[in-house]
Amino acid sequence: MSRIDNSQHFITFPEGYAGRRNHLCVYIPCRTAIVLEKIDYLAIP
């Protein structure tokens, strides 16, 4: 059994942060890695 959920979507906030155009806030426990892939918003079903 895998703990990977490929159907989960993370969406950025349009407000800027630290000189960047968009930002994403994710709370994850310590010693945890998260890998994100940028996709076209229109491609989300």
pLDDT tens by residue, 3-15:
777 787 777 778 8
40: domain range?
Answer: 1-44
Q: What is the pTM of this model?
A: 0.42
Instruction: Please name the residues in contact with 7: beta carbons below 8 A apart, sequence gap of 6 or more.
Output: none
Name the stretches of the chain with pLDDT < 50: none
Tally of structural domains, the chain = 1
Q: What is the CA radius of gyration of the chain?
A: 13
pLDDT at 26: 81
Cα–Cα distance list, 34 to 15, 19, 42, 43 (Å): 22, 23, 23, 21
